Structure 1
Amino acid sequence: MSVRAVASGVAAVLVTASVGFGGTPAASAEPGVPRTVPSLKQWQPGGADFSLGTKARVLYTQDALRETATDFAASLQAATGNDIAAQPGSAGSAGDIVLTTGLVPDAPEMPEAYRISVADTMELRGADTAGAFYATRSALQLLRQRTVIPGGAVTDWPQYRERSLMLDVGREFMPVELLRAQIRRMGHLKLNLLHLHFSDTFGFRLDSDRHPEITAAQHYTKQDIRELVDYAARYQVEIVPEVDFPGHMNGILAAHPELKLRSANGRVSDAAIDIANPRAYDLMRDILEEFLPLFPGRYWHLGADEFLLDGAMVTSYDEYPQIGAYAKATYGPQAQPVDAFLGLINWGADIVRANGKRPRIWNDGLHTGAGTLTIGTDIVVDYWSRAGIPQLPLPFFGAARTPADLIAAGHEVRNAAFTPTYYVAGGPTAVGNVPAPIAYQLWDPALFVDGSRLSPAQNERNLGSGLFVWCDDPTVQTPEQIAVSITMPLRVMAQQTWGPPQAGSYHEFARRADAVGEPVL
């Protein structure tokens, strides 16, 4: 893909986006509303002010809230210098904070909703433990700006169920401590899904007992993963693992060259596995069955993107007659070559379901009218490109099924639009990185990469969006430099996925974001 082609596509989609916005200005926060990132849904002023006590207590009404209360007290002490202690209880004095759960008036019934009642004692009430945690994040952001808060009540909840960060650790290994720092940042911004792309061009980053030959020198041990999962849970972050099949398998296939996809003219792909070879399924099954139990979350991401993209070369099913023969032998004489790919998705999805999880894939291999098979409607589709493969890989145009079509077929989707949700470190596609002000002003999660916008009814099947960090050239930025570079894009995605009202102009949003800062602990 040329830099000029990508740049032209970015320009086209941003024009489309501004038109797609319909000329309707984003809602702005009312003057006087307490400043947080993301901004608050509702603020009703009135009543006594709250002044954080110099020796304040964070009282928690249930043992399930103890860890959240303890972390909140420690962060609050670090941010303000006041002496803050967490302890069980429900009856606070002036200057204390009470953390509890229960019905949140005037909010939808969802576990992440919360209410902050500001009086001489502050009450943080979550609909569930997740909401209670988010109440502490908003309270911390407010109290680090000033320790006296005007009386009133905050009612807040997310617009989208998934508010995510994806990190491409397959191409560029990121140390565990850096992942922990991003989890803390996610909790601070009320992001709830960490998608880790564990395998790609430069390595398979999980420590395999069944196939130690595929494990990269830089990798995560199983104990690393267990501790990371537990750490993420403290911040209400769920980890979604991805091991990409049947493309982007360089890190695995380097140890299994006999399984690489070969064309009729003898060209060998370093990235794609031969899905006509039964031994390929043995290897993929081994990987799935070894690592699925390691992750307790709801999802497993199967990848399924860019299968026939070999480096910068786009190939065609016609170049691999063994795939067409396999499809007909497996799925009947009417089967098309793409059915072998669709059948692989269903095969992997069955293994994922058997392990109590829900499968996810990328969208680009799903073409309008292609194949005789359908994939399971419970599969979540992360929608990044309208192009699909085999085609010239420009993500803004093409024959891939539309978001609306996938929703009509029964799928839930996540908006992973190449622009503006991608941050690419290095390589020609980095030119598509959209500046944070443009993403803030012209985009929201209902607007997809091809410029189409979901209707409100369709958008009920849109799980959300986030920031997708790809390390196409791992020599360009260190993990620490990437973490700095995504500071404002991640804040913007947190705002757009949590939902309106926005914090006025981008300049006002940036000032607000600087005021609430990064997590203190």
Structure 2
Amino acid sequence: MAVLAKPARGVVAVVCAVAASVLLPVGHAVAANAAPAIVPAPREWTGGTGAWTATSASRLVVPAAHQTALSTVASRLRADFAAENGLALPLAVGATPTTGDVVLSLGSTDTTLGDQGYALTAGSTLTITARTAAGAFNGTRTLLQGLRGTGNRTTFPAGSVRDWPRYPDRGQMIDVGRRYFPVDWLKAQIRQMSWYKLNTLHLHLTDWNGFRIESTTYPGLASPERYSRAEITDLVAYAKGYGVTIVPELDFPAHSSHFSAYDPSLAFTCASLSKPTGVPWEGADAGGWTLDVTKPATRQFAINLVNEVADLFDSPYVHIGGDELPNDTAKAACPELVTYQRARGFAYPGDVFVDFLNVLNDAVRAKGKTTQLWEWWDYGGARTSIAPPTNVIVNDWLADGSAHANAGYPVVVTTDGVFYVSVGFGQQPGDYGYSNPYDVFNHPYSSTAGIRGYKISRWMDRSYALGVDNVDHFARRPLQVMADRTWGGPKAASLRALIDVLDRVGPGEPGADTARSQTGWAVTATSQETQSENGSAANAADNDPYTMWHTRYTGGAPALPAELVADTGTTGAVSGVRYLPRQDGGTNGKVKDYEVWLASAATGPWTRAAAGRFPNSPVEQTVPVAGTARFVKLRVLSEWGAANTHAAVAELDVLTPRFAAARVPQQQMSVRYADSAETAAENGAAANVLDGDPATIWHTAWSTSSPPPPHEIQLDLGQTRTTSCLYYLPRQNSNTNGTIARYEVHTSTDGTTWTAASSGTWENTKAEKSACFSPTPARYVRLRALSEVNGNPWTSAAELNVLATQ
């Protein structure tokens, strides 16, 4: 779908606070617990005193009557709970709850909760009650987020939550039609969505340059990069386990150049509809843009695909597109369309396309499903004498959805501008295609009856050369903020306050590291610009991505290196430092070479924890470190700007590891085995993965021979430890040879018997990757590289680290 209008920009400060209190006997007044950090904020919180605490004796108790209905939710909770704190939480069906147990049950009679709400009560036990499994699942996300508010992730503040969403549909659309994304990446999206209680993943599966699902009805139609039927079945089941519904979209009758290339007889031959001119739509000049819906064979082709997709996806919805048809002038210039219009007795050429959508709607409804389509048939003054029936759900991209809702249509709002992320068009505030989280935060979400929800639409026009990390970076904050605002809980005092909570909650990967709150930090720098702009050091810790620290340049710029020091106010374990480059598109000061130093006191001693080079990218970067610190120093050695004099940082975050442990010190580990290493033409020794230097790498042999994958490297942890993550840092120079794509991780206590722990595909970025799994006793950890990002036979790694509890 084309992006056509720029949103209005602005910030409206809205302050909303909710306080809870309890009545206690005179002389025993104890402050009630504040609400835990949860995103989205719960609708209702009543604070108690004390906390629920999990121990090694804690169990997950499920009533026998609810065991089947809650089996998937219980399984997911047990795995995620263990990833947070190392506790197994054994399942106890029908048991009597005791202190420390988690109770998961259905049968709530609270009708306000609906089918997605839940009630959570934390006392001696922690109980989640809902009317449906979907509601119970949402309750488990609240539990897991609340655990992250404590150092060992085993406690939840005493109190009660009553929680339900304002809108039933909340999610995102991903354009996999223009650009294919691997299944593992889509699964990661699902995990992140469910963490914030987003429940709808709309997949735009077709576009002018691709058809992304294997078709048995039309062999040869699918693009080379496509999802097999088995992959779709697996993905649908995976999403269901996370409470996410996948909405498949086949975009008809425009955007159809790929269909037309498959069978030219399907398309209009008139130039005005085949190659529309004067339009901003990528691919419109490829030919065959519009299907010839006047032909019975074309209609049957579309019906057959709708039927196939409806059967393949376990979803109550099928989206049939309908957008970006050429305008009425172009329609009137197509003789075959006008001839058909008159023969059918339609008042306008546009009626032919509405009639086609109605035919597809009948096919969808015959499958027992509901049709979704884009607002377009009435766009830009298009004339029609008929309209789609009000049993279809309109995806309104042009306005706030109220007009269609008032006309009787159920509506999902995805307004162009505020809810559009089109990274190929814009990557800074004010650009078209840039979704500003301030706009998402302050958007006046509609109270009009019929508005079912909201979604972020992520279009991939012109994004083909961008890394996946770039594509994700610009959607992350808008999605998080929309998730909070569309759930309907108390609005944070400001976007900055919400971002601080988001960072403390952390991402949705099981057991992910979280960021320390920036509240109360004192930040200093060796230099700061305060005359020509607000380049104060404090801007690097204000939870605002659009302010920044910038070294002084008025009256002369001091030479690099420059130092930024954050006093976080708390001494504790540090697992990483996160750097956000300036987000305004500028290059001056963007950090190139850097060092990270840690200290527990302002006077030191300081320990250099990491060094390396950031890419010249707007994407947030994470530097893995291991240590204990209150003070964190980023030392900037060089910049990507031409002057090589400045330094600039939008945000600096300090990451905290999960439960009481952190990464195993590399000096306590050794490389037990590597199947191959290049030591003749370069220093590619396996030991380089444990030397703390991201500039050195292990690289498999290439000078005399290049053995094919899989390649493996085994780490000896020095003793048996409870392990739960392997961290992989790819080579950090401009070369990508050997960078791992598909991988497997195995663990072993004796080095002989290995247990599969994790597998997947890592993105082709320089950022550190993780493979996390349920805590497992192991002395040995094995990484197997199954493929390389370029398809070469090599494997490389700059650093490997292992997370363990002892």
Q: TM-score, normalised by structure 1?
A: 0.85
Aligned twin of 2:306: 288
Q: Distance in 2 between matches of 1:504 and 1:326?
A: 58
* Equivalent in the alignment of 1:77: 82
Quick check: which one's helix share is greater? 1
> Against the structure 1 CA distance between its residues 102 and 84, is the aligned structure 2 distance closer, same or farther, given a 3 Å change threshold?
same
Cα distance in structure 1, aligned partners of 2:144 and 2:94: 20
The separation in 1 between residues aligned to 2:438 and 2:140, in whole angstroms, is: 30
Q: 1:115 to 1:317 in 2, by over 3 A?
A: same
Paired position in structure 2 for 1:60 = 62
1:190 is aligned to: 197
Q: Structure 1: 5+ residue runs without aligned partners?
A: 387-401, 447-455
- The 1-side partners of 2:210 and 2:45 are apart by 48
Letter in 2 for 1:84: L
Q: Deviations over 1:223-272 (max 9, x none)?
A: 11111111111111111100000011122212122332233679644321
Deviation, structure 1 residue 428: 6.5
**2:138–2:197 Cα contact (<8 Å) kept:** yes
Distance 1:2 1:241 in 2: 19
1:362 aligns to what? Answer: 374
- Mapped to 2, the partners of 1:494 and 1:38 lie a distance apart of 6
Partner of residue 43, structure 1: 45
2:2 and 2:75 mapped to 1: Cα distance? 52
Structure 1 residues 492-501 or 435-444, which shifts more? Answer: 435-444
> Which secondary structure does the structure 2 equivalent of 1:271 belong to?
coil
Alignment deviations for residues 14-37 of structure 1 (CA, whole Å, 9 cap, x no partner): 36xx7xxxx793634548221101
Deviation at residue 197 of structure 1 after TM alignment: 0.5
| Counterpart in the other structure of 1:437 | 437
Is 1:378 the equivalent of 2:386? Answer: no
Residue 301, structure 1, aligned to residue 319, structure 2: yes
Q: Which runs of 5+ in 2 are unaligned?
A: 21-33, 276-286, 511-806
1:33 paired to 2:35:
yes
The CA deviation string for residues 114-135 of structure 1, in whole angstroms up to 9 with x for no partner, is 1111101111111211111111
Residue identity matched to 1:46: G
Q: Highest CA radius of gyration, 1 or 2? A: 2
Structural mapping, 1:102-121, within 5 Å: 102-103=107-108, 105=110, 108-121=112-125
Q: Distance in 2 between matches of 1:142 and 1:426?
A: 37
Q: Larger deviation: 288-297 or 265-274?
A: 265-274
Is this contact kept in 2: 1:29–1:39, CA < 8 A?
no
Give the CA deviation at 1:218.
Answer: 0.6
Please, which moves more after superposition, 421-430 or 133-142?
A: 421-430
> Corresponding residue for 1:245?
252
- Over residues 41-70 of structure 1, what are the superposed CA-to-partner deviations in whole Å (9 max), with x where a residue is unaligned? 111112552112233211122212122122
**8 A Cα contact 1:163 1:191, kept in partner:** yes
State the AA in 1 paired with 2:501.
R
1:350 aligns with 2:359: no
1:169 aligns with 2:169: no
Matched, 1:134 2:129: no
The Cα shift of 1:150 comes to 2.6
Larger RCO, structure (CA 8 Å, separation 6 or more): 1
Taking only the aligned residue pairs, the percentage that are identical comes to: 29
How many angstroms does 1:405 deviate by?
Answer: 3.3
SS for the counterpart of 2:452 is strand
Q: What is the alpha-carbon distance in structure 2 between the residues aligned to residue 76 and residue 263 of structure 1?
A: 60
Distance 1:316 1:303, change over 3 A: same
> In 2 relative to 1, CA 29–433 (structure 1 residues): closer, same or farther, beyond 3 Å?
farther
> SS of 2:262's equivalent?
coil
Aligned AA (2:71): R
Corresponding residue to 1:262 among 266, 269, 277: 269
What letter is aligned with 1:348? L
Question: Once the 2 structures are TM-superposed, how far is the Cα of residue 191 of structure 1 from its aligned partner?
Answer: 0.8
Q: 1:82 to 1:461 in 2, by over 3 A?
A: same
1:437 positional shift: 3.3
- Structure 1 range deviating more: 474-483 or 409-418: 474-483
Residue aligning to 1:450: none
189-198 or 68-77, larger mean C-alpha shift: 68-77
Output the CA distance in 2 between the equivalents of 1:166 and 1:225. Answer: 16
| Alpha carbons of structure 1 residues 476 and 104: separation in structure 2 relative to 1, 3 Å | farther
Partner residue of 2:459 out of 459, 470, 475: 470
Contact 2:6-2:416 within 8 A present in 1 as well = no
User: 2:174 touches 2:202 (CA, 8 Å); kept in 1?
Assistant: yes
> Does 1:337 pair with 2:335?
no
When the two chains are superposed, the root-mean-square deviation of aligned CA atoms in Å is 2.6
What's the counterpart of residue 390 of structure 1?
none
Per the TM alignment, residue 166 of structure 1 is displaced from its structure 2 partner at its CA by 0.9
The answer to whether the 8 Å contact 2:269/2:288 transfers is no
- What is the match of residue 153 of structure 1? 160
Matched residue of 1:214: which SS?
Answer: coil
Query: Partners of 1:85 and 1:433 in 2: how far apart?
Result: 47
- Could you tell me how far 1:444 is from its partner in structure 2? 4.1
Q: What are the Cα deviations for residues 400-444 of structure 1, in whole angstroms up to 9, with x where unaligned?
A: xx8333223321111010121111131469932345431343214
1:326 aligned residue:
340
Maintained 8 Å contact 2:52/2:122: yes
Distance in 1 (CA, whole Å) between partners of 2:104 and 2:330 is 58
More strand by share: 2
User: Do residues 217 (structure 1) and 206 (structure 2) align?
Assistant: no
Q: In the TM superposition, what whole-angstrom CA distance separates every residue of 1:152-205 from its partner, at most 9, and x where no partner exists?
A: 111110000001111100011010111111111111111111101000122100
Secondary structure of 1:487 counterpart: helix
Between the aligned partners of 1:254 and 1:339, the Cα distance in structure 2 is: 26
Q: How far apart, in 2, do the equivalents of 1:256 and 1:445 lie?
A: 44
CA deviations over 1:472-495 (Å, ceiling 9, x no partner): 023232334423432222111211
Amino acid at match of 1:10: K
CA distance in 2, matches of 1:267, 1:417: 28
